[in-house]
Structure 1
Amino acid sequence: MNAEPGLYHYTLCGLDDVYLVNGFTRHDTPYGSGVSIEDVAGLHRVIAEDIIRRRARLDGAEVRFLRKELDLSQSGLAALLGVDAQTVARWEKGQTDVPGPADRLIRILYREQASGNSDVRGLIDAMADLDEIEHRRRCFEETAEGWRTAA
C-alpha cells in the first residue's frame, strides 16, 4: 500500500499496515530526516484496541505487538496460555496459525490490562501455578455427614 502524501508509515511498532494522519512531527537532524510522535503510549493503546476488535485471526506481528504491550516475554505468554515458548515464537514468525482459544485469550488479556482489571489474569496465573504443582494423591473419606476431602 502506497502512503498518501502527508501520511507517516509507522513501522517501529512492528506492524506493516499502520499509517498516521497526524500526531507526529517531521524534523531534520544531523543524521537525516526524523519523526517524533507526541503520544506513543496512546497510539499503541489505540492500535491494540483496533487489533483486538478485528474479526480476523491474529497474525504473527499482531501477537508480538500485543505480547509486548502486555509486557510479557515469549515464555511468559506461553506460560499463561499453557504452551511452550517455541510455539509462541512460531506464531510470531507466521510459521503456524494461532489457534482460536489462544487468539481469544490473548485478546482478553489485553482488554483486561487496558481496563485495569486483573480477574482473568489472576485466574490464569493461578491455573498456571496448578500446572507446576507436582501431581499428588487425593484422598477422600466417608463420614456420617457424607463424603469429604481427607486431611
Structure 2
Amino acid sequence: MRRLKGVGLPNVYLLDGVLERPDGAIAYRDLDGLYQALAGAIAMRSGALTGPELRFLRKSLDMTQEDVGRLGDKSSQIAAKWEKGSAPVPLAESNMLRLIWLERFNKRYLAAAVRAFIVESTEAVPCDYVMRFVEGEGWREDIAFAQALAVRRADERLAQALIEAMDRGGLEGFKTIVTVSAADEEEFVFDAADSAQSKEMFT
C-alpha cells in the first residue's frame, strides 16, 4: 500500500496501479481516472467536508473559490478560510458541492445522496480513502479495506492511550488489559490484580 502524495489530501492510499520505473520514478495507471474516482469517493461521503476535501472537489469541478462562496451567498475569502482549515466547512455548502459533482458525473446516485444528507452529522470527520486499480474497469474505492484500516488505527490509538495512562500511574493495580473486538462494537475488559482496587475505566 502506498500513500498518494501531491494531491492536497493527506489520507489517500493506493493498493495497486502504481508503477516504479527503472530510474526510481513513480508513475500511476490512468492518473486522470484516479482523480475522478477519488472525487467520486469524496462526493459519496456524508457529513461536512474537510478543507482539503472541499478544495479537491472544487478543482475537480473546475470551480473557483468565488464560485464556492456564492453557493451560500458568501465571499471567496470565506471559501479560502474553509479550504485552509481556519473555519469549518458548513454542511449546507458541503452538500451543495457534492450534489453538483454527482449531477455532473454520477447522476444515478443523486437520490441516494439526498436521502443520506437528511440524517448526516454536521461535523467534519477525516477519513482514509483507499483506491484500487481494477484491470478493465479503472480505479475504484476499496471501502472494506478503508474500514479495516480505520479499525486498526483505532486499536493503535487505544493501545497508545493505555500505555500513556500506565506511564502516568493511572492504572495501578491492573495486571492485564484485553481488547475484545466485534464487528460493530468494541468491549474493553480489565483483569484487576486486586478486585478491591479495581475501578471502572470504560462504560
**Short-chain TM bin:** 0.5 to 0.7
Q: Which runs of 4+ in 1 moved over 6 A?
A: none
Quick check: 1:48 aligned with 2:42? no
After superposition, what is the alpha-carbon deviation per residue over 1:65-108, rounded to whole angstroms, capped at 9, x for unaligned? Answer: 00000011212322344210011100000111111211110110
SS of residue in 1 equivalent to 2:100: helix
Does the Cα contact within 8 Å between 2:71 and 2:93 map onto a contact in 1?
A: no
Provide closer, same or farther for how the CA distance between residues 92 and 53 of structure 1 changes in structure 2, counting only shifts above 3 A.
same
- The equivalent of 2:74 in structure 1 is 83
Instruction: Give the one of 83, 90, 95 matched to 2:86.
Output: 95
Residue 52 of structure 1: how far off its partner (Å): 1.8
- The equivalent of 1:25 in structure 2 is 19
- The equivalent of 1:61 in structure 2 is 52
Amino acid at match of 1:87: I
SS of residue in 2 equivalent to 1:25: strand
Residue 116 of structure 1: how far off its partner (Å): 7.2
Residue 60 of structure 1: how far off its partner (Å): 0.2
Quick check: 1:35 aligned with 2:29? no
Aligned mates of 1:34, 1:72 — CA distance in 2: 31
Quick check: 1:104 aligned with 2:98? no
SS of residue in 2 equivalent to 1:67: helix
Aligned mates of 2:3, 2:103 — CA distance in 1: 29
Residue 51 of structure 1: how far off its partner (Å): 1.1
SS of residue in 2 equivalent to 1:101: helix
Amino acid at match of 1:54: R
After superposition, what is the alpha-carbon deviation per residue over 1:93-140, rounded to whole angstroms, capped at 9, x for unaligned? Answer: 0111111211110110111121379xxxxxxxxxxxxxxxxxxxxxxx
- Using the size of structure 2 for normalisation, the TM-score is 0.49
Aligned mates of 1:46, 1:81 — CA distance in 2: 26
Give the superposed CA RMSD: 1.8
- The equivalent of 2:3 in structure 1 is 9
Amino acid at match of 2:15: V
Does the Cα contact within 8 Å between 2:52 and 2:83 map onto a contact in 1?
A: yes
Aligned mates of 1:75, 1:11 — CA distance in 2: 27
Does the Cα contact within 8 Å between 2:3 and 2:14 map onto a contact in 1?
A: yes
The worse-fitting range, judged by mean Cα deviation, of 52-61 and 96-105 is 52-61
SS of residue in 2 equivalent to 1:82: coil
Aligned length: 108
- Using the size of structure 1 for normalisation, the TM-score is 0.65
